[in-house]
Amino acid sequence: MILFIMVQELRDRRHLERIFIAVLAGLMMASLDSIWQVATGRDFIRGYEPVVNLGMVRATASFKDSNILGIYLSALAPLLFGLSLYYFEGRKKAVMFLLSLITLIAVLLTYSRPTLLAVYIAILLPALVMKKKKIIVFMIVLALISPFIAPRAVKEWAKSVEYNPLRFVSNDDRIAVYRNSAHMIKDHPFIGVGVNTYMKNYGRYREVVEYRGVVTKDYMYAHNNFIHMAGETGLVSLGIFLWLLWALFAKSARIYKNLDDRYLKVFLLSLIACLAAFLVNGLTESSLYYSRVAVIFWYSAGMALAFRKFIYADK
């Protein structure tokens, strides 16, 4: 319903500007709360304490954990980054860069590897589309030096998992969940175990000896949108969802090519980056099944498709 409402009800450029202000307000609230939480020991909205992993203090802001905060930030921040880099000029650009820096600090304070990867891709994607060579080179150099500038705890963690990229990004417990989920999908390949019943059925499919001796809980999310969907509603449903994603990005790309207004083009390209970031983060989190952040995906998808009404108005 959110997707359909956004497709139909997005009105004009002024409406877009108001949405951007609302998104910016949410980003600033969460980002400043994250920084405050790490600095003082409690966030100023709910009084949550930060979590500590591998000796690193990780921000959660008012969210349940750092990874969900990371999903929220990475799903909205590309809109701010895109307009800051490619649209605003003069003083507005300076202000937006400052706000972008605050958001980036909050992203870093989550120490969420999928979030960092999602934000990286969300910044690189528009640069590739718009052929911004300086930004592309900067992002490539950043990727090359990141192993050397990473915190010591992160380097030690990478060594402990034998520099295996899958174990580094996903953790052994998630890999164990993926393996257990494969048994669920194998037993119910077409229609799955039932909508919203993944957690109830998960315990029945755990391996007797799980991956690397990990012991997962009886009730678990799949920690992967696509695996979670295949487990609950089957491979047919997953196939339909993948088709929906292909159609969404293909249609958005066609709309982007037919727009002339620079603001609209940058806004839409940034929205596409938001969607990409959400899906990248969804490779290690069941983000479409977390109500507090799932709405962002459908809202952004509907808004991207709504840009079709600007094509003729723009010419």
pLDDT tens-place string over residues 62-101: 999 999 999 999 999 999 999 999 999 999 999 999 999 9
Among the ranges given (150-154, 191-195, 228-232), the one the predictor scored with the smallest mean pLDDT:
150-154
Q: Find out whether 54 and 153 touch, Cβ atoms under 8 Å.
A: yes
| Residues contacting 236, CB < 8 A, separation 6+ | 190, 191
pLDDT at 314 over 80: no
> How large is the average pLDDT for residues 50-55?
90
Amino acid code (one letter) for 102: I
Domain that holds residue 213: 2-313
Q: Which of 133, 129, 136 is nearest to 259 (CA)?
A: 129
Q: Which CA distances in Å does 58 have to 40, 109, 170?
A: 13, 6, 17
- Please, which pLDDT band fits residue 55 given cuts at 50, 70 and 90? confident
Whole-angstrom Cα distance, residue 179 to residue 133?
41
pTM over 0.75: yes
Whole-angstrom Cα distance, residue 112 to residue 51?
12
The number of angstroms, rounded, from the C-alpha of 285 to the middle of its chain's C-alpha atoms is: 9
* Tens-place pLDDT, residues 198-251: 999 999 999 989 999 898 998 889 999 999 999 999 999 999 999 999 999 999
Q: What was the pLDDT predicted at 267?
A: 97
Q: What was the pLDDT predicted at 170?
A: 87
| Residues contacting 46, CB < 8 A, separation 6+ | 62
Q: What was the pLDDT predicted at 54?
A: 81
> Helix, strand or coil for residue 63?
coil
Q: How many domains does the chain have?
A: 1
| Residues contacting 147, CB < 8 A, separation 6+ | 155, 158
The number of angstroms, rounded, from the C-alpha of 169 to the middle of its chain's C-alpha atoms is: 14
Whole-angstrom Cα distance, residue 79 to residue 266?
9
Q: Which CA distances in Å does 65 have to 110, 158, 188, 204, 302?
A: 9, 22, 31, 27, 27
* Tens-place pLDDT, residues 274-313: 999 999 999 999 999 998 999 999 999 999 999 999 986 6
pLDDT at 315 over 80: no
